[in-house]
């Protein structure tokens, strides 16, 4: 997205050809941006500048990507043409009022039914800056408002109630945009041009979390995952697992552009339960399905609180993980914004992913240490974020394989 509205060429290496990324790529092409892929993991984006996007000839289908939906709503609110954002059955059921409200306050006109996609965005060249206090910590909402702020008159500020991932701010800085951040308040002045640059995308910590847990639960495992993004707004999963007794170390720390990266070394560990600090929730929001499985494999009970945001992800992840673990013989006490997971022994059985990629992969990991075979249904969504998941797991010795029709 940022390369598309920059001036000049942006060269990307380390591109993940997952369905979410491919849907975003297709949407930017539909907006008139020339994007080449000389290799599956490389992109060359010919930026058209802040005001060079063109009206799409059809609705923009973002598949399963909530990130693309929310960020593009901010980006497209500042264009002079109308556009429609839609997606698959899961995405069209997810709440978008949290972005519609601040963008409307900036002067955007967005039509929806009950605050859910499709979103009809009426173009305007008269966005105004706002000072927005987010009621719920959300990097997607923050980023949507900041992107709209590039097209607004004045300085747009977002205050977040808890730290959220800051990839957008770092990337804007890499492209020459002045972004200020202090005491949880992030500000950007409208009208600043972006400059194309070279971007080397680190390995994704959310995907690495599955490899990490597989190693932690195995016997006598010792693995290293190289060049992983360890942005401090994302490392809550490492902090939580280390607090449970996980042997995880970060080696070879360095910067990739403005993003910190490191090699992650993981050794088999005996995990123990406990109360997870709610302050870490926003730093690990996408990894809680993995953490539910870690808690189920740990001794004692693990208490999660302040995780109500999980109920409005690709699925209700609290309910989906509670159901799946119970079907595998684990006791889970569920509450509105939390859960207590009682450590135990996984049994075999059939579990539902509810079409959620992270639920599917997390429950598959439970199967690697279960007393009998675990079958996970409806796993096609895994390709949205981790194509090649089964092959990756097999490469470190996990017996996870796809079954035709599942």
205-219 pLDDT, tens digit per residue, is 999 999 999 999 999
* Reduced 3-state DSSP string for the chain: CCCCCCEEEEEEECCCCCHHHHHHHHHHHHCCCEEECCCCCEEEEEEECCCCCCCCCCCEECCCCHHHHHHHHHHHHCCCCCEEEECCCCHHHCCCHHHHHHHHHCCCEEEEECCEEEEEEECCCCCECCEEECCCCCHHHHHHHHHHHCCCECEEEEECCCCCCCHHHHHHHHCCCCEEEECCEEEEECCCCCECCEEECCECHHHHHHHHHHHHHCCCCEEEEEEEECCCCCCHHHHHHHHCCCEEEEEEEEEECCEEEEEEEEECCCCECCECCHHHHHHCHHHHHHHHHHHHHCECEEEEECCHHHHHCCCCHHHHHHHHHHHCCCCEEEECCEEEEECCCCCCEEEECCCCHHHHHHHHHHHCCCCCCEEEECCHHHHHCCCCHHHHHHHCCCCCCCCCCC
Residues forming the active site: 286
- The whole-number pLDDT of residue 257 equals 86
CA distance 178 to 279: 28
CA distance 207 to 264: 13
| Region(s) of the chain under CATH 3.65.10.10 | 7-200, 205-395
Nearest to 235, CA basis, from 248, 224, 247: 248
Model pLDDT for residues 107-143, shown as the tens digit of each residue: 999 999 999 999 999 999 999 999 999 999 999 999 9
Q: Are strands 349-352 and 338-342 parallel, antiparallel or unpaired?
A: unpaired
CA distance 313 to 297: 24
Model pLDDT for residues 222-269, shown as the tens digit of each residue: 999 999 999 999 999 999 999 999 999 999 999 998 999 999 999 999
Task: Using the structure block, give the residue that is written with the tokens 């892929």.
Answer: 37
- The whole-number pLDDT of residue 120 equals 98
Given a contact cutoff of 8 angstroms between Cβ atoms, the answer to whether 285 and 309 are in contact is yes
- The whole-number pLDDT of residue 403 equals 86
Model pLDDT for residues 308-358, shown as the tens digit of each residue: 999 999 999 999 999 999 999 999 999 999 999 999 999 999 999 999 999
114: Cβ–Cβ under 8 A, 6 or more apart, which residues? none
CA distance 45 to 9: 6
Residue 57 has, within 13 A of its CA and on its CB side, a CA count of 4
312: Cβ–Cβ under 8 A, 6 or more apart, which residues? 94, 95
CA distance 120 to 56: 13
Fold entry, domain 205-395: UDP-n-acetylglucosamine1-carboxyvinyl-transferase; Chain (3.65.10)
Grade residue 406 by pLDDT with cuts at 50, 70 and 90: low
Given a contact cutoff of 8 angstroms between Cβ atoms, the answer to whether 304 and 243 are in contact is no
Q: Are strands 332-335 and 301-305 parallel, antiparallel or unpaired?
A: unpaired
Grade residue 405 by pLDDT with cuts at 50, 70 and 90: low
- The whole-number pLDDT of residue 332 equals 98
Percentage of the chain beyond pLDDT 70 is: 100
Predicted TM-score (pTM) of the model is: 0.89
| CB-CB neighbours of 273 under 10 Å | 21
Domain 7-200: which CATH class?
alpha beta
CA distance 307 to 374: 26
Q: What average pLDDT does range 272-278 have in this prediction?
A: 97
């Amino acid at each position: 997205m940022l390369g598309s509205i920059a001036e000049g060429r942006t060269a990307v290496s380390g591109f993940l050809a997952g369905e979410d990324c491919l849907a975003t790529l297709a949407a930017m092409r539909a907006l008139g941006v020339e994007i080449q892929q000389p290799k599956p993991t490389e992109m060359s984006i010919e930026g058209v500048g802040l005001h060079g996007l063109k009206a799409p000839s059809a609705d923009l289908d973002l598949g399963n990507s909530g990130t693309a939906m929310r960020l593009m709503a901010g980006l497209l609110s500042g264009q002079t043409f109308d556009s429609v954002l839609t997606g698959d059955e899961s995405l069209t059921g997810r709440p978008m009022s949290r972005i519609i409200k601040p963008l409307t306050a900036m002067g955007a006109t967005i039509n929806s039914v009950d605050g859910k996609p499709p979103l009809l965005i009426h173009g305007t060249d008269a966005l105004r800056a706002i000072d927005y206090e987010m009621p719920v910590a959300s990097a997607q909402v923050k980023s949507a408002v900041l992107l709209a702020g590039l097209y607004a008159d004045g300085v747009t500020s977002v205050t977040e109630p808890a730290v959220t991932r800051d990839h957008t701010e770092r990337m804007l800085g890499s492209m020459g945009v002045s972004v200020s951040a202090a005491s949880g308040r992030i500000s950007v002045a409208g009208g600043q041009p972006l400059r194309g640059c070279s971007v080397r995308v680190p390995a994704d910590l959310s995907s690495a979390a599955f490899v990490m847990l597989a190693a932690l639960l195995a016997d006598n495992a010792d693995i290293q995952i190289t060049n992983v993004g360890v942005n401090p707004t994302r490392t809550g999963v490492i902090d939580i697992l280390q607090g449970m007794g996980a042997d995880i170390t970060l080696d070879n720390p360095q910067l990739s552009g403005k993003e910190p990266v490191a090699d992650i070394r993981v050794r088999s560990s005996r995990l123990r339960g406990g109360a997870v600090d709610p302050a870490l929730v926003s730093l690990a929001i996408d990894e809680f399905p993995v953490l539910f499985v870690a808690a189920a494999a740990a001794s004692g009970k693990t208490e999660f609180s302040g995780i109500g945001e999980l109920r409005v992800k690709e699925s209700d992840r609290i309910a989906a993980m509670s159901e799946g673990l119970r079907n595998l013989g684990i006791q889970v006490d569920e509450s509105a914004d939390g859960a207590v997971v009682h450590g135990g022994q996984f049994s075999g059985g059939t579990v539902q992913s509810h079409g959620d990629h992270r639920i599917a992969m997390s429950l598959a990991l439970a199967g690697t240490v279960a007393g009998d075979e675990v079958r996970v249904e409806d796993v096609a969504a895994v390709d949205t974020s981790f194509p090649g998941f089964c092959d990756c797991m097999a490469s470190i010795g996990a017996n996870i394989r796809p079954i035709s029709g599942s």
